Structure 1
Amino acid sequence: MKNSRNERIVLDSWRRCAQAGLSPDSTRQLYPLSDQQLKTLCEQSHNDISAFESCAVPAAASLPKASAFLLVSQQGILLKKIPEFPLFRLFRPGFSFSEAHAGTNAVALSIRHSEPMWTFPQQNYCTLLTNCTLYSAPFTPDRSSVTLAIVTNRKQISDWPPVLLRQLISSMSLELRQVTRSHIRQKTESIHLTARQRTILLRIAGGMTDRQIAADLHITQETVQYHKKNLYRQLDAENAVRDVVKALQLGLLSLEDLPV
């Protein structure tokens, strides 16, 4: 059943490519981003790339020859390939797997349908991918910022790509949870709320207006607004509600602190 669905999705993609007038021999805009745009994208994906490097390097020892792991942005832009070797020289950071640029391929289809996808050499639309078998899967169902893939020149393969990719996704998930906890800990250590800021934050959480807070604390509304602006800046929040949420996320407030 899964194979027939995969084949239907591939066929639909071929139709879209043909209707769009994409030539199978096309090599147009395979690297659509400028150097600065690619640099910005990589900076935004820093944690994902770091986790991928940490986990894919040891996992690559289990890959057959002429195979590699790929980390791809949700826009279809290749961020990292491990290991590096000449066979897939075409796949360097900035390469676009987008259907509009590279035609039908498993990476584009996996991003489009948010599920694992295969494409074998004869199923890839563009001739530049006719020596590639691709297996791609979203990082996790609730985290859609990146997609992982395996590329190989092998025509006859069993179930090792899904197995290896699941293992890589599992180890990357653990790595990123640790990075997130470390980031939250560093962020918390860098934020120091004054007693007055904490008092005002608790009253915000209780639903009090600036006027009510000012009257309750015997200060002016301007002073309340001054402290709120500092809280927005320190907690990187755009409004009072986000202030409270961020303070809870960072452990600066606990649910027990909040007024009932």
Structure 2
Amino acid sequence: MVYEQYFYEAMFQSWEKCINIGISKEIEKPLIKLTKNDLAVRQEKNNNLILKFNDFLDKHIDAIKNVNNGGYYFILFDEDGYILDTIKSQGKGKRMSNSFISPGISFDESSIGTNALVFAKKFKSAICMLPSFHYCNKLKDWYEYCVPIKINELEKGYISVVSEKYPVTKAVVGFVDLLQTNMLDEYFNVSDISIDAKQNKHLTERQYVVLKLIAEGLSDESISHELKISLSTVKYHNQSIFKHLNATSRVEAVIKALILKEISIADLYNIIA
């Protein structure tokens, strides 16, 4: 995450830019949107990202359906900040207007003013935005979290989640981070899960607890301290988890465990439905 001082400096600079280029705070719709033909060209170019985005959300979006009464918009952008695709989770409350969230719309400052994608591009890092940080009034109810999709250290696109009036929870931030990792071409193919892993017995209770702590970002040393077990025992459990899931890293183990339904987003982030 970006240091707070640098973020606030960038936010005020963004507001000043919006003023200088003449964007009204009262705009009713985005100022820049692709034609159907131009959108089709960009979607074709990024077809693989779109397929991965849809596949992951189709399989796992129900895991967070009770996290927010108002629901969420998940947005996939290309490298220039144009929306390629969007998927809505089903909340229980009033849904936000989608006039600012549809394929082809640009999230550049010159289109909708200050927003999370502007800073994710600037800092090449994950960004959280509160409603008051936005420039345009139409976005003043938005909570945003945006992450870059980096392949070989180059930004190939961005993923944002937008919530109206309700903060983006830790659970959903973790969900988006897993989605972003899942979309990296060089990482691993989520459909390439061995038959052996599917047929094996489930994780043991202790393995489940260790994997949950791994998902929360704890180091082996911290897990050892948390569970009051030796470091060598933690490493033994790690090896058993990786073997069971046919995984080679912590993040891959967490994603495959989700896909195989060994764990759920609710389990990982202590969601109370």
Larger radius of gyration: 1
1:124 aligns with 2:129: no
Aligned to 2:49, the other structure's residue is in SS state helix
Q: 1:151 aligns with which of 155, 162, 169?
A: 162
Find the partner of 2:150 among 137, 140, 145: 140
**Which of these residues, 75, 98, 104, is aligned with residue 89 of structure 1?**
98
Show the counterpart of 2:235. none
CA distance in 2 between counterparts of 1:31 and 1:17 reads: 14
> Equivalent residue of 2:84, what SS?
strand
User: What does residue 76 of structure 2 align with?
Assistant: 71
1:77–1:94 CA contact under 8 A, matched in 2: yes
Q: How much does 1:16 deviate? A: 1.2
Q: Which moves more between the two structures, 23-32 or 110-119?
A: 23-32
Aligned partner letter, 2:80:
Q
Distance 1:103 1:119 in 2: 13
Aligned to 2:35: 34
Structure 1: gaps of 5 or more residues: 182-260
Partner of 2:183: 172
1:96-130 deviation per Cα after TM superposition (whole angstroms, max 9, x unaligned): 11111110000122123211112211111111212
Answer with 104-113 or 59-68: which moved more: 59-68
Report Cα offsets for 1:214-256 as digits up to 9, x if no partner.
xxxxxxxxxxxxxxxxxxxxxxxxxxxxxxxxxxxxxxxxxxx
Query: Matched residue of 2:77: which SS?
Result: strand
Higher helix share: 1
Alpha-carbon shift at residue 175 of structure 1 (Å)? 8.7
Contact 1:72 1:80 in 2 (8 A): yes
In structure 2, C-alpha distance between the alignment counterparts of 1:5 and 1:59, rounded to whole Å:
35
**Structure 1 segment 239-258 matched on structure 2, within 5 A:** none
Question: Which letter maps to 2:110?
Answer: A
The answer as to whether partners of 1:110 and 1:136 remain within 8 angstroms in 2 is: yes
Q: Which moved more, 1:23-32 or 1:132-141?
A: 23-32
Q: Is the 8 A contact 1:60 1:82 kept in 2?
A: no
Q: State the SS of the aligned residue for 2:183.
A: helix
**Match among 102, 105, 120 for residue 110 of structure 1:** 120
Of the structure 1 ranges 35-44 and 107-116, higher mean CA displacement relative to structure 2 is found in: 107-116
Count of aligned positions: 180
What's the TM-score, normalizing by structure 2? Answer: 0.59
Between the aligned partners of 2:25 and 2:63, the Cα distance in structure 1 is: 33
**RMSD over aligned Cα atoms:** 2.6
In the TM superposition, residue 69 of structure 1 has moved relative to its aligned partner by: 1.5
- How far residue 157 of structure 1 moved from its aligned partner, in angstroms, is 4.6
Q: Which has the higher contact order (CA 8 A, sep 6+)?
A: 2
CA contact (8 A) 2:72 2:89 kept: no
Query: Hey, what's the Cα distance between the residues in 2 that align with 1:2 and 1:62?
Result: 31
Query: How far, CA to CA, are the matches of 2:86 and 2:57 in structure 1?
Result: 9
| Cα distance between partner residues in 2 of 1:133 and 1:163 | 15
Partner SS, residue 137 of structure 1: strand
> Counterparts of 1:196-235 in structure 2 under 5 Å?
none
What whole-Å deviation, never above 9, does each CA across 1:45-76 have from its counterpart, x for those lacking one?
Answer: 10010011111223322333321211011111
Given that 1:135 and 1:161 are in contact with CA atoms closer than 8 Å, whether structure 2 keeps it comes out as no
* TM-score normalized with structure 1 length: 0.62
Q: Is the deviation greater in 144-153 or in 154-163?
A: 154-163
Q: Which residues of 2 match residues 10-25 of structure 1 at below 5 A?
A: 10-25=11-26
Question: Whole-Å Cα distance in 2 between the matches of residues 161 and 84 of structure 1?
Answer: 11
